[in-house]
Structure formats: structure tokens, C-alpha cells
Chain A
């Protein structure tokens, strides 16, 4: 054995051990992060499951005009029907169901057995079909969130009564109704069709989802063309001098500015100076664009830099002008990188809530926004608002909103990956 081989073989074991250790560290960290991720997902998904269903109670509603606070006559105007007292219908049918309830306090609690939104269902029913007045019909109505939580088993029956939101007599009502098959659980469509509400059983995600969608659309439409344009100018056309260096350093700094600062800036400039409506997706989109711009500029510059100079030379040598070199070769080749950077920026913006605090997007918005100028809230803010609410049923709603946010994010990433693949295949 030569001297070199001896030295090498003496070290060899150590070298391989090092390699094995390194591999182990890698596997260990991947396992650890996967465990955390799975734990998180499991926790969120299991907590959001109760949102899928809602409990309904079947009530025999007597649509007598006297209960509706209406005079007896053959036909009613739409306005009269709209202003009639529908809560009274529900109250009456509940009293009939439990004639033993006499005490004022218990009666008040009994009235709250059904969701406060149920009366609007009856109103719509009567306005659609006024002939129903005078008849008695059995109708499934949404229960209150506490009752719903108990039926779903989220409230421990064995806990002391004073620590329970559902009292013993309420439990008896539920059990007697269940015995009569008058309680059923149905698919929850309110969650997907409603906006925010004080009542958890009526609260939905649609408002926040649309708000997020409009805000992201504004952010994308503003920051993508401006960011890519700025990056192309800086990388391809800008002279290499002192001023450009300063601009470059500042762009890099902007990417590291805490997002709430952009919110203050947006409040001062967009809302106070330009008078853009507060809480509107347009204001949110403008603020988030400020945040996303530096990310897109930096990643686009990196992507442009990585286009091989030989391709530029080839095109130039054939007589392409500078602009043609950029549009025919540099941008298509840089596109996958540009898209990756943009999607990272957009994903950050989607999950951002701090700058939106400053421009009034943390608000209780009960209407689904119909345009870029309507008051709206966004998904992360909705999660914050629900997580902050005391009612028990909001726990499930919070988790469900997180799931919706993750799905939104997943779809965004998926579209970026598909676009990327398309650009890569073209080449």
C-alpha cells in the first residue's frame, strides 16, 4: 500500500461517518417538520369538522295573522309582509311545544332556542307565497349556536350546571325534541353563502373570501407589471451608477420593512390624502402591493440575471434589438423564476393582516362586498375576528376559515406551478 492510500483509508471511515451523520440530520429535520405540519393540519381539520353540519328543529308554525301582527284581510302589500312580526310566530310555536314553561326568565331562554336569523327564513317564505297566511305548516328552523354545540356533543353534559352554557332544563327540551325526532342535522350552507355575523350559526366565509379575492386581484394587477417592469429596467437598461446603487439598496430594504409600516403609509397617503374609501379592497390591494413589489422586483432581477449571456449574444448576433432580446428570450427564460417570486409575494400578501388593521379592514362587515369599493374584510382578518369571539361555536368557524385560507393558498400555488410548467415546456 502506498503512503497516500494508507492516509486515505485511515480517514475514510471518518468521512463516511460524517456523510451518514449529515444524512441523518436531514432526515431528522424533515421528519420533525412533517410531524409539526401534520399535527397542525390534524388539529385544524378536526376542529373545523363541526362546521359541516348544523342542527335544525322542526316546528309547527301557525301563520295566523294575529301572530304576525297583521289585520285580517284578503291580501297584504309587500311592505306590510316585510314589517310583520315573524319572531312571534316562532315564539308561539315554541310555547305550544313546551306548555309547562311559565316563568318569564325561562320563557326568554326558550325563545332563544331557535337562531335569531330563523325569522328571516319565515319572512322570505311568506313574501314568496302569501297564501300560506292562516295555515299551519311544519318547518325546519336553525337552532341557536349553544343548542347546536350541545347536540354536536361539544358541551359536556356532566359538567356542573353553573359552568355550562346550556342549562339542565334546556337539555331536557333538546332530549324531548330528539325523542320526537324533531331535531335533525343538515349540511351547513350558511358557511359558504353568508358573510360575517354576530351569531355563529349564521356566520359565513363568503364575505371574507370575496374580500380576499378582490384585494389579491388588485395586488396582482398592480405589483406584477410594475415589479417586473422595474426589474427589467434596473437589470437591462439602467446605467450602472451611484443612483442606481442607492435605489437597489432601498428596494432590498423595503422587502424587510415590517408590514404594519406599509399600513400606516397607506392610511396617510391612500385614505387621508387621495380619499380612497376606507376598508375597501382597493385600499387593501394598494397597501399590499407596496409589500409585494420589492419581493417581485428582487426575484425578477435574480431570474433575469440567471438567463445565460450566451443566449443574449446569440440573439444580438442575429441582429435582434435590445428590446427584442428581452421580449423574445430573456423574459420567457426568466418567467418560471418571476412566477415563483410573484407567488411567494402574493402568498405573503394573502396571509397578511397587520397592514390591513391600519386601513380599517379589521371590521365587522355583514355584507358580501360586490365591488372593489365596498367595505370588506379578508380571510386572515376574519380568522382573527372569529378567534377573538367568545362564543364556543366560533372555535370551529376559526378552524374552518383557516382551512379555506389554506385551500385558497393551495389553489394560488397550483396555478403558479401550472403556469411555470407551461413556460418550461415551451422551451
Chain B
């Protein structure tokens, strides 16, 4: 254990693998640092790229800062007082902290699905219709009906709910609720979907449904997913990033990370020696 800690300070300033891409970049981070309460730093100098229409899995032990980083991508951390994000995060080449980009517009194009299913205490229909109505994406109720149906279909929930759209969203089962949250997110047609441990509160069957769904959504969206399950990362993602104590240890194609990790820490984590 002592060795690992020593290694950390010496070697972690550099990320192993292929963190940066040359083309097809959707989100790029350069030297991102995140501080809470002025001097508590939770993300150290992270630089990597997320490719378009791919699933990027972010793995690592608890408290490694992967959720914090994910929440930087749609500026959810703005809501936390005394949280300072430093460095460049670019969406399609444009800095998301620039004055031209309002957080409301950013969040309309970077949707988020949370760890715990959090449907609004409204009907299923209203849950999905909330975003489009909020942003004025529809002109009349038939367009809205279409969006609701389309989103629920994409989220694989239409068959189960088409006859009970007025039922409360909170009355669904956990897995259904999470799919409802995904439908709600894709209803505003974002470009990127951020998922913060979307299946950690679900049973294996619901997890499988969601994973399948993510795989299908990949063709039209860019997905960044934080997960605790290495099997899940291996199953669904195209690229995997391994974080350790706020530092990005290794990024590479998922296959490479799981079969041939470069860094010792990554190897230890994926072989289950710690974490």
C-alpha cells in the first residue's frame, strides 16, 4: 500500500494510455482542476477527450472525483457554492465557461441522468413533456405527444406505459423510473448524455435493459457514464478512463484497458486487488 501511495505522487501527473484524440472530439478537457472550499482539491490536472457517438466509461474507487468531473461537463457544480472549476472544458470546440454560453443552454444540449432515479412527482407524460415545454421546442400539443412517444420509445418504456401515461412517474418500478429519467433527458434532444452511476440502484435485469438502451442511444448521442461496475464498463463502453484520488491514471480503448493496462494502479484496480 505504501508503494502505491509513493507511486501516485511521482507518476500520476501524467496520464497513461491515449487520453487525447486527434479527430471526432465531442468533449475535451485540458488541465482541469476542481476545488471545494478554496483549498480542498478534488480533481488534479485532468486532460482527456471524449469522442462523438461513443460511450466513455469513467471508473475508479469511491471518492476519486469521477462524479465531480462528470458534473463539470454541464456545469452542475455551479450550484455548489465555493466549488471552483479551473481549466478548459470544450464542447464542440467551444469553452463551456465562456460568456457566450449560458448554463441553461449548455444543460439543454448536455443532458444528465442521475444515480438515483428522480422522476418529478407528476404524471409520466408530464415528466417527459417538461423539458420540451420548458424550452419551447413544440408548437402544439400533437407535436408534444409525438416527442413524448418518441422519447419513451427510445427509452424502451413506451410499450409498458402507453396506456397509463397519466399515472404518477413515481409509481413505476426503480428500473422503469430510471428509463423514464432517460426518456425525459432525451426528450430535449441533447447532444451529450451524462450518466452518473445510472444502474447502481437497480437489479441486474433492469441494469441489462438500461445497458442495452445505452448501446442503442450511442448512435445518436455521445454518452459519458460513471460506473462502479467494471463489468459494466467492459460491456458497454468504447473507451474507459480510470481515476484515482482525483487524478486521471489511464485512458484507452476499453479492450486495451481491461486486457493490457499500462499503469500498475489500473491493473490493481481491474484485477480487484484494491478499490
* B27: min CB distance to chain A, Å: 16
A324 partner residues in chain B, CB cutoff 8 A: 134
Using a CB-CB cutoff of 8 Å, which residues 111-154 of chain A contact chain B? none
The verdict on A317 contacting B81 (CB below 8 Å), with A324-B134, A329-B120 known, is: no
Q: Quick check: is A27 within 8 A (CB to CB) of the other chain? A: no
The verdict on A427 contacting B168 (CB below 8 Å), with A313-B114, A316-B76 known, is: yes
Q: Quick check: is B237 within 8 A (CB to CB) of the other chain? A: no
Tell me whether B76 and A317 are in contact (CB under 8 A).
yes
Tell me whether B122 and A427 are in contact (CB under 8 A).
yes
B111 partner residues in chain A, CB cutoff 8 A: 317-318
Tell me whether B184 and A310 are in contact (CB under 8 A).
no
Using a CB-CB cutoff of 8 Å, which residues 60-80 of chain B contact chain A? 74, 76, 79
The verdict on A427 contacting B181 (CB below 8 Å), with A310-B116, A316-B79, A317-B114 known, is: no
A329 partner residues in chain B, CB cutoff 8 A: 120
* B118: min CB distance to chain A, Å: 4
* A49: min CB distance to chain B, Å: 49
Q: Quick check: is B204 within 8 A (CB to CB) of the other chain? A: no
CA distance A316 to B74 in the complex (A): 10
Q: How large is the interface on A (under 10, 10 to 19, 20 to 34, 35 or more residues)?
A: 10 to 19
Tell me whether A313 and B131 are in contact (CB under 8 A).
no
Question: Chain A's interface: helix, strand, loop or mixed, by majority?
Answer: helix
Beta-carbon contacts of A289-319 to B below 8 Å, as 1s and 0s?
Answer: 0000000000000000000101101111111
Using a CB-CB cutoff of 8 Å, which residues 237-259 of chain B contact chain A? none
* B86: min CB distance to chain A, Å: 22
The verdict on A313 contacting B76 (CB below 8 Å), with A318-B185, A319-B108, A319-B188 known, is: yes
Tell me whether A321 and B104 are in contact (CB under 8 A).
yes
Q: Quick check: is A94 within 8 A (CB to CB) of the other chain? A: no
Tell me whether A320 and B134 are in contact (CB under 8 A).
yes
> Which residues of B line the A interface, CB within 8 A?
74, 76, 79, 81, 104-108, 111-112, 114, 116, 118-122, 130-131, 134-135, 168, 181, 184-185, 188
Known: A308-B118, A321-B104, A427-B168. 17 other contacts (CB 8 A): A240-B81, A310-B114, A313-B112, A313-B114, A314-B114, A314-B184, A315-B130, A316-B76, A317-B74, A317-B76, A317-B112, A317-B185, A318-B131, A319-B105, A319-B188, A324-B134, A329-B120
> Which residues of A line the B interface, CB within 8 A?
240, 308, 310-311, 313-321, 324, 328-329, 333, 427
